[in-house]
């Protein structure tokens, strides 16, 4: 029998305070007070934990406005806009995850974990496994659909990620991770809370280089109307069918052969089927063509009623010349030899609101390729990071 998930947020009578505070208590759907709930502004270093009696108080500044997250293992995570609950007395009701029925068409198995853990770490964490690690990695659960070549990963517990390069411990609540091996796309969403662990000059240098030219840097430049000043170059790109990629008829012939091969003792693969398979695996369905260079930001940014909206009908190429920061004496200076970064964004008509922190609404709906895809956990900075912190 299907059960309904209830996540409640009751706003009780106003009280008067100085400054900005998010305050109240957290209870379960059975009325029990819940201590130890992590309460934080998503993607920042601003957070607290509910007390034994379920009460909490979180002081925030206007610079840390975003989404406030209420998270505790074994309970459904609740997220709401911080601007909606500032200076109000709240009653937050969380539902136990054990009360939610789950249908598993493809089971989560230890075999799937062993087969795909390295791929997950590469696409989620990044390449530096020595300095960026998930302390409770064994809690992850993997499910792989062999027929559709689709990987899903769940994290029943909050992931504790140690990033020695950037000097942070991240509490990451992984909401969704999926990878489609047919389309070669990876999608994951989650909430994060940062804790400082180190503050050396080397850490500061690494943070500066992680920020420069990143997606965070790009969207902050959009919000502040500084795309040209920050030297991002944006071009209009369209998809052009790749003649080397198999046609729909050829792909169907390949699928028909695989179906027959599964049900018979066919061993030899015909040359034409082998050639189609090779082109499917080595080619992309489309090529990219630049149709207009040096787009003004008015082509993809709209500013109205105090909001900054990002949207474009096709694709955007974002180029950036990155000069790595170096330490010379007691100063941080940029190197003289640049590295050109090139990335592709797929707004494709969707509208995203850009915040001053450099975040966007519905980030999982914006597909990106190229150097922006390197902005994985190993290069993840808090939204309240400022260059030089």
Tens digit of each residue's pLDDT (9 = 90 or more) over 362-380: 888 898 889 998 889 999 9
User: At residue 116, does pLDDT exceed 60?
Assistant: yes
Mean pLDDT of 190-197: 95
Query: Distance (Å, rounded) from C-alpha 258 to C-alpha 253?
Result: 9
| 290 band by pLDDT with thresholds 50, 70 and 90 | very high
| 14 band by pLDDT with thresholds 50, 70 and 90 | very low
Q: Work out the percent of the chain whose per-residue pLDDT is above 70.
A: 92
What's the confidence (pLDDT) of residue 12? 45
Enumerate the H helices of the chain as residue ranges: 110-124, 201-211, 215-223, 248-263, 271-282
What's the confidence (pLDDT) of residue 100? 46
> CA of 314: how far to CAs of 219, 291, 296, 318, 325, in Å?
18, 11, 15, 13, 34
This prediction's pTM: 0.83
What's the confidence (pLDDT) of residue 250? 93
Other C-beta atoms within 10 Å of 214: how many? 23
Sign of CA dihedral 355, 358, 364, 366: positive
What's the confidence (pLDDT) of residue 102? 52
What's the confidence (pLDDT) of residue 5? 38
Question: Which of 153-162, 179-188, 258-267, 356-365 has maximum average pLDDT?
Answer: 153-162
What's the confidence (pLDDT) of residue 3? 36
């Amino acid at each position: 029998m299907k059960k309904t998930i209830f996540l409640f947020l009751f706003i009780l009578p106003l009280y008067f305070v100085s400054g900005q505070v998010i305050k109240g208590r957290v209870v379960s759907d059975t009325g029990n007070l819940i201590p130890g709930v992590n309460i934080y502004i998503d993607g920042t270093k601003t957070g607290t934990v509910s007390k034994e009696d379920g009460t909490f108080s979180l002081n925030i500044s206007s610079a840390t406005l975003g989404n406030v997250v209420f998270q505790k293992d074994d309970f459904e995570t609740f997220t709401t806009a911080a601007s909606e609950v500032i200076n109000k007395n709240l009653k937050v009701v969380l539902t136990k995850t054990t009360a939610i029925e789950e249908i598993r068409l493809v089971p989560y198995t230890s075999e799937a974990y062993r087969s795909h853990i390295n791929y997950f770490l590469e696409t989620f964490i990044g390449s530096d496994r020595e300095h960026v690690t998930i302390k409770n990695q064994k809690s992850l659960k993997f499910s792989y659909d062999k027929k559709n070549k689709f990987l899903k990963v769940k994290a029943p517990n909050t992931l504790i990620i140690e990033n020695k390069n950037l000097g942070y411990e991240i509490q990451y609540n992984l909401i969704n991770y999926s990878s489609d091996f047919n389309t070669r796309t990876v999608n994951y969403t989650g909430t994060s809370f940062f804790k400082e662990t180190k503050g050396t000059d080397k850490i500061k240098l690494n943070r500066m280089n992680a920020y420069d030219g990143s997606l965070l840097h790009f969207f902050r430049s959009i919000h502040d109307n500084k795309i040209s000043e920050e030297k991002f170059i944006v071009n209009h790109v369209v998809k052009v069918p790749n003649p080397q990629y198999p046609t729909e008829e050829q792909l169907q012939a390949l699928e028909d052969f695989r179906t027959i091969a599964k049900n018979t003792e066919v061993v030899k693969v015909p040359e034409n089927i082998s050639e189609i398979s090779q082109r499917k695996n080595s080619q992309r369905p489309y090529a990219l063509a630049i149709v207009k260079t040096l787009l003004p930001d008015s082509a993809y940014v709209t500013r109205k009623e105090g909001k900054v909206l990002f949207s474009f009908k096709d694709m955007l190429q974002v180029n950036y010349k990155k000069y790595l920061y170096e330490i010379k004496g007691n100063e941080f200076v940029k190197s003289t030899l640049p590295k050109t970064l090139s990335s592709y964004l797929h707004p494709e008509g969707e509208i995203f609101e850009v915040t001053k922190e450099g975040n966007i609404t519905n980030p999982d709906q914006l597909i990106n390729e190229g150097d922006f895809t390197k902005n994985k956990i190993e290069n993840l900075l808090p939204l309240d990071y400022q260059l030089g912190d």
